[in-house]
Amino acid sequence: MAIVVQFLPKKVRECFLDLGSFSEDKKIPLDVLINMWVEIHVVDEEEAFAILVELADKNLLTLVKDARVGDLYSIYHDISVIQHDVLRDLTIHMTNHGEINERKQIIMSRREIELPREWERNAGKPFCAQIISIHTGEMKKMDWLTMDLPKAEVLIIKFFATTYFLPPFIHNMPRLRALIVINHHSQNATLRNLSIRSNNINL
């Protein structure tokens, strides 16, 4: 499967690698994915959807429709995307090369109780990543690191908790264009520090 990915057109391959930022075997709303690709890959919605269909045709993702609708390609809100665990492991393997501060994507591959030690050890200098993906349980203000993320355009936060404090380092993300927050808990969550969004002119 890695060979198939290597021979994809550059933009299609980049979009495929973005999928590793989401949890495996969990539904990703199609409109969330389309909007993210439009923001960071300089494509319009039609091209982004064509990329999605190409990846599905090559079995690199699965399109799932809402059982309540008929036509698979009716509207974005009726469709979700799923990437299975083996393919997600492949995307992470292909993106986790080189020094963490120089990577295009920084991904927590699975849920942890705190941020990775590797992030903490390298927090003294800027991270160059375009996409940051975090997966934790409950986070309080004191649990966050101070991180400089001058090139980050997408922040994906996945958590399993009923209370969650959004990271203060959003202040240090001047190019942030998409903030995606996903609660995997069965109960609704209370988000803290929501005012930090108003400080970013691109959101």
66, 110: one domain: no
Do 157 and 194 lie in a common domain? Answer: yes
Q: Is residue 104 helix, strand or coil?
A: coil
Of 60, 95, 130, which marks where a domain is finished? 95
Q: Residue 86 class from Cβ within 10 Å (0-12 exposed, 13-18 middle, 19+ buried)?
A: exposed
Helices (H), 126-188: none
Q: Is residue 32 over pLDDT 70?
A: yes
Number of domains in the chain: 2
Model confidence at 5: pLDDT above 60: yes
Amino acid 72: pLDDT? 47
Picking from 31, 60, 95, the residue at the C-terminal end of a domain is 95
Geometric angle at alpha carbon 18, from 12 and 24, rounded to 5°: 120
On average, the pLDDT of the chain sits at: 90
- Structural domain range at position 168: 99-203
Choose among 183, 126, 132, 128: nearest CA to 154. 132
Report the range of poorest mean pLDDT among 18-27, 34-43, 179-188, 194-203.
194-203
Find the farthest-apart pair of alpha carbons in the chain and give their distance in angstroms, rounded: 52
Render pLDDT for 86-111 as a digit per residue (tens, 0 to 9): 999 999 999 988 899 999 999 998 88
Predicted confidence (pLDDT) at residue 75 exceeds the cutoff of 70: no
Question: What is the pLDDT, as a whole number, of residue 203?
Answer: 61
In 16-126 the beta strands, taken as DSSP E runs, fall at 28-29, 62-65, 79-82, 105-107
Q: Please indicate, yes or no, whether residues 190 and 168 belong to a single structural domain of this protein.
A: yes
Checking if the pLDDT of 148 tops 90, the result is yes
Residues 122-139 pLDDT 10s: 999 999 999 999 999 999
For helices 45-57 and 10-18, give the axis angle rounded to 10 degrees. 80
Give the Cβ contact number of residue 28 at 10 Å. Answer: 22
Regarding whether 196 and 103 lie in a shared domain, the answer is yes
User: Of 175, 127, 134, 176, whose CA–CA distance to 148 is shortest?
Assistant: 127
- Same structural domain for residues 11 and 56? yes
Mean pLDDT within 169-198: 91
Q: Are residues 203 and 107 in the same domain?
A: yes
Q: Are residues 86 and 170 in the same domain?
A: no
Per DSSP, what are the bridge partners of residue 190? 163
Q: Which pLDDT score is estimated for 113?
A: 87
**Using the 8-state DSSP alphabet, how is residue 102 labeled?**
G
Q: Are residues 47 and 73 in the same domain?
A: yes
CATH number, domain containing residue 22? 1.10.10.10
In a shared domain, residues 45 and 3: yes
Q: Do 73 and 103 fall into the same domain?
A: no
Judgement on whether residues 72 and 156 belong to the same structural domain of the protein: no
The tokens describing 165, both together, are 């404090």
Binning pLDDT at 50, 70 and 90, where does residue 76 land?
low
pLDDT over 50 (residue 178): yes
- Which CA distances in Å does 161 have to 92, 110, 114, 164? 25, 15, 13, 7
Q: Is 62 helix (H, G, I), strand (E, B) or coil?
A: strand
Residue 201 pLDDT? 61
Question: Do the bridges between strand 79-82 and strand 62-65 make them parallel or antiparallel, or are there none, so unpaired?
Answer: antiparallel
Does 184 lie in the same domain as 105? yes
User: Which of these three, 64, 95, 126, is where a domain ends?
Assistant: 95
